[in-house]
């Protein structure tokens, strides 16, 4: 084959898969992609193995869903992703139960260094409904992926996650982000999310999902 051959759109689409069908190499690419898009989260700071473990756990969690659009063949990690759960507490419990002790320690260490997210999560526990809502856990699009096509855009990823929530009878989608992440706040506003609460520089948002 001609070394300069252009990778067709079809080839790229064959790489699009739910995480449940993904190989270890694909999960590693997703973990790397997460670290590029969200370098300052607790899980990214805990290292690539922690991210790999978190996504691996979510594969087997029946409440979670992951949308993964890999990058081009020569750099699958330059892709786009989103993940969410239709039962935040159950997913959090599953992660604590399944992830190995060393990774839990690394995550805990990062939480000690930067306790704000944990504190905010505790404060919002009484605000976030216990049932009937979906929660966006992560979303990220690399610059390179955005150039591949519209299916690699944040709105496409979020739309697919919201469709999955709807298909499972979930009536609301919730998300939190940092106020300083102006791009994310504007993105969610554009996607019709409304602010519910703000504390310690974090914003909690929600959107009613039409059926």
Ligand X SMILES: CC(C)(COP(=O)(O)OP(=O)(O)OC[C@H]1O[C@@H](n2cnc3c(N)ncnc32)[C@H](O)[C@@H]1OP(=O)(O)O)[C@@H](O)C(=O)NCCC(=O)NCCS
Return residues touching ligand X (CB under 6 A): 37-38, 139-141, 146, 153-155, 177, 181, 183-184, 186-187, 190
Q: Which is nearer to ligand X, 67 or 184 (CB)?
A: 184
52-40-126 Cα angle (round to 5)? 85
Q: Closest approach of Cβ 121 to ligand X, in Å?
A: 14
Q: Closest approach of Cβ 154 to ligand X, in Å?
A: 2
* Angstrom distance (rounded) from CA 44 to CA 118: 15
CB 117 within 8 A of CB 107: no
Q: Which is nearer to ligand X, 98 or 196 (CB)?
A: 196
* Angstrom distance (rounded) from CA 146 to CA 116: 31
Q: Closest approach of Cβ 71 to ligand X, in Å?
A: 13
Contacts of 69 (CB under 8 A, 6+ apart): 16, 79, 80, 81, 145, 148, 151, 152, 157
Q: Closest approach of Cβ 4 to ligand X, in Å?
A: 28
177: which strand partners? 203
Q: Which is nearer to ligand X, 45 or 146 (CB)?
A: 146
Q: Closest approach of Cβ 30 to ligand X, in Å?
A: 14
Which residue minimizes CB distance to ligand X? 154
CB 177 within 8 A of CB 199: no
Q: Which is nearer to ligand X, 56 or 69 (CB)?
A: 69
Q: Which is nearer to ligand X, 36 or 98 (CB)?
A: 36
* Angstrom distance (rounded) from CA 46 to CA 38: 12
Q: Which is nearer to ligand X, 134 or 154 (CB)?
A: 154
By DSSP bridging, strand 64-69 and strand 80-85 are antiparallel
Q: Closest approach of Cβ 161 to ligand X, in Å?
A: 11
């Amino acid at each position: 084959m001609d070394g300069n051959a252009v990778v067709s759109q079809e080839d790229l689409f064959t790489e699009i898969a739910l995480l449940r069908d993904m190989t270890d190499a694909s999960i590693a690419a997703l973990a790397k992609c997460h670290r590029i898009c969200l370098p300052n989260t607790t899980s990214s700071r805990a290292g690539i193995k922690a991210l790999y473990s978190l996504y691996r756990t979510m594969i087997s969690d029946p409440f979670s869903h992951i949308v993964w659009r890999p990058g081009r063949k020569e750099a699958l990690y330059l892709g786009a992703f989103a993940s969410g759960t239709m039962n935040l507490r159950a997913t959090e419990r599953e992660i604590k139960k399944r992830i190995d002790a060393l990774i839990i320690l690394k995550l805990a260490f990062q939480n000690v260094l930067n306790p704000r997210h944990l504190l905010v999560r505790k404060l919002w526990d009484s605000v976030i409904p216990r049932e009937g809502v979906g929660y966006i856990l992560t979303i990220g699009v690399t610059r390179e992926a955005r150039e591949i096509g519209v299916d690699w855009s944040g709105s496409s990823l979020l739309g697919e996650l919201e469709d999955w929530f709807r298909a499972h009878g979930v009536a609301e989608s919730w998300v939190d982000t940092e106020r300083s992440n102006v791009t994310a706040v504007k993105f969610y506003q554009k996607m019709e999310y409304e602010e519910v609460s703000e504390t310690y520089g974090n914003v909690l948002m929600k959107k009613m999902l039409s059926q």
